[in-house]
Amino acid sequence: MRKVLLVAHWDWVLHNYWLPVAGALRDLGCEVTFVCPFGDYTERLQSAGYACIHWPVKRHGLNPVQEAFALMRLIRIYRRIRPDAVHHVTIKPNLYGTIAARVANVGAIVDVFNGLGYLFSTDLQARWLRSLLLPILRRALDTPSAMTIFESRTDRDALVQRDVIAEKRTVIISGTAVNTTAFRPRGNGRPAHDSSRPVALLAGRLLRDKGINEFVEAARRLKRTDADWRFWIAGVPDTSNPNSVSEQELNQWQQEGTIEFVGQRDDMPKLLRQVDIAVLPTYYNEGLPRFLLEAAATGLPLVATNIEACRLIVRDGINGFLISPRDVDELAHAMTRLLADEGLRQRFGRASRPIVVQGFSEEKVVRQYLRLYRDMGIVSVAT
């Protein structure tokens, strides 16, 4: 039985994104183990039948002693488990995990960049980190036994052009997997909320560069135009991220009547069937946003930023509108067009789901990963 470790800096990532891939590997006879800091989602991973190993790494830590300890701990885990393959997700696990895998002589290494994240933001600290980490990442990824996965060509090209990685060692796999059975359109084509007032929803990690402030300002303007329109935000502040929205801001927006905060939700299929449009004016360096995929699978019209990550799912004028980053005027105009026109919402919504089914279903994405594992010798079956 071949041993595969799936490694991340957050158990939430493994639970929400990688269980379908883990399940496919297990079905093929692999022994799959998750390696991550233990948190709120670890028990759920264990309940799904997977062994979990605690890896003490901080998502945004910069302490050299703590980072060195995290690397050494990962090396010890790899030497003890002796996996046939390791699969890393996001920059820290990609960096530390690839170094650890080389030291421990692991046969196959898969590194996944679901967007380039905070490291490639315009923040001054992020620029300093890039100058420090990119040379190290370049050396770590320079190994014949590793393949690096990107969701978008823009992200791949950003690292190739900086000579961090050779293009021949990269693969584009199209996006996050979505369960198109769980996320499905409403039966009668109308939202399940308890009024006739149209609802716009923004959901995700509550980071400023996800466009939350722009969404709130657009909501303020639209409230002055039509007080019946409703604006919901779902998620939770990410206190470990310096760009997180605070609970005080959320409370203030609610008190002034601009938005309704519906909190962290584990019932996203139900929540999405209660709204009329999905909005994500992000300018974060992310991969394909899961929220947009889930909303499209539910048959919702979309409003998002005109960046590659969003263009993968939003077809401007077909299933939604693309707006310029940080442009509140464009955002408010796009939201107004959809909130004011039920026919347009229905037309765009009908166009959304086929895009997900054809390109981003769990079945399609898992097949792409299994094909990669086959080519790397991790599994032997044809897919």
- pLDDT class of 15 with cuts at 50, 70, 90: very high
Answer yes or no: are the C-beta atoms of 236 and 246 closer than 8 Å.
no
The predicted structure's pLDDT at residue 228 = 85
CA–CA dist 278, 25 (Å, integer): 33
Has residue 84 been placed in a domain?
Answer: yes
330/371 same-domain check: no
Answer yes or no: are the C-beta atoms of 324 and 301 closer than 8 Å.
no
219 phi and psi, to 5 degrees? -65, -40
CA–CA dist 70, 57 (Å, integer): 5
Has residue 189 been placed in a domain?
Answer: no
| pLDDT for 297 beyond 90 | yes
140/233 same-domain check: no
CA–CA dist 357, 368 (Å, integer): 15
| pLDDT for 31 beyond 90 | yes
Answer yes or no: are the C-beta atoms of 340 and 271 closer than 8 Å.
no
Q: Which tokens belong to 177?
A: 């997997």
- In sequence order, what are the beta bridge partners of 112? 89, 149
Shortest CA distance to 170 belongs to which of 153, 192, 193?
153
Pairing assessment for the beta strands 320-323 and 302-305 based on DSSP bridges: parallel
Can you tell me the mean pLDDT for 83-105? 93
Residues 6+ apart with CB under 8 A from 375: none
42/130 same-domain check: yes
Can you tell me the mean pLDDT for 17-21? 93
21/167 same-domain check: yes
80/135 same-domain check: yes
Has residue 11 been placed in a domain?
Answer: yes
The predicted structure's pLDDT at residue 195 = 53
Provide the CB-side half-sphere exposure for 29 (13 A, CA): 6
Say which CATH number the domain at 207 has.
3.40.50.2000
Pairing assessment for the beta strands 146-150 and 108-113 based on DSSP bridges: parallel
Answer yes or no: are the C-beta atoms of 10 and 34 closer than 8 Å.
no
How many structural domains compose the chain?
A: 2
254/274 same-domain check: yes
205/247 same-domain check: yes
Helices marked H in 230-318 — which ranges? 247-255, 268-272, 290-297, 308-311
CA–CA dist 6, 30 (Å, integer): 12
Can you tell me the mean pLDDT for 351-375? 93
- pLDDT class of 47 with cuts at 50, 70, 90: very high
The predicted structure's pLDDT at residue 117 = 64
Can you tell me the mean pLDDT for 61-72? 88
Has residue 34 been placed in a domain?
Answer: yes
Has residue 188 been placed in a domain?
Answer: no
| pLDDT for 286 beyond 60 | yes
Higher pLDDT, 104 or 129: 104
Shortest CA distance to 279 belongs to which of 270, 289, 287?
289
CA max distance for the chain: 63
Mean pLDDT for the chain? 89
263: left (phi over 0), alpha (psi -120 to 50) or beta: left
Calculate what percentage of the chain has a pLDDT beyond 70: 93
- pLDDT class of 48 with cuts at 50, 70, 90: very high
Can you tell me the mean pLDDT for 75-97? 94
278/345 same-domain check: yes
CA–CA dist 223, 213 (Å, integer): 15
167/310 same-domain check: no
Has residue 120 been placed in a domain?
Answer: yes
- pLDDT class of 240 with cuts at 50, 70, 90: confident
Domain containing 243 equals 199-359
Has residue 9 been placed in a domain?
Answer: yes
3-state secondary structure of 302: strand
Of the given ranges (27-36, 283-292, 316-325, 356-365), which has the lowest mean pLDDT? 283-292
Query: Which of 76-80, 114-118, 223-227 is the most confident on average?
Result: 76-80
CA–CA dist 256, 196 (Å, integer): 22
Has residue 194 been placed in a domain?
Answer: no
Task: Measure CA of the first residue to CA of the last residue in the chain; give whole Å.
Answer: 19
Buried (b) or exposed (e) across 236-264, using 16+ Cβ within 10 A? bbbeebebbbeeebbeebeeeebbeeeee
| pLDDT for 238 beyond 90 | no
Can you tell me the mean pLDDT for 33-54? 96
212/335 same-domain check: yes
277/149 same-domain check: no
121/226 same-domain check: no
The predicted structure's pLDDT at residue 339 = 95
The predicted structure's pLDDT at residue 383 = 47
Indicate the burial class of 341 (C-beta count within 10 angstroms; 0-12, 13-18, 19 or more): middle
| pLDDT for 193 beyond 60 | no
Answer yes or no: are the C-beta atoms of 75 and 35 closer than 8 Å.
no
Pairing assessment for the beta strands 277-280 and 320-323 based on DSSP bridges: unpaired
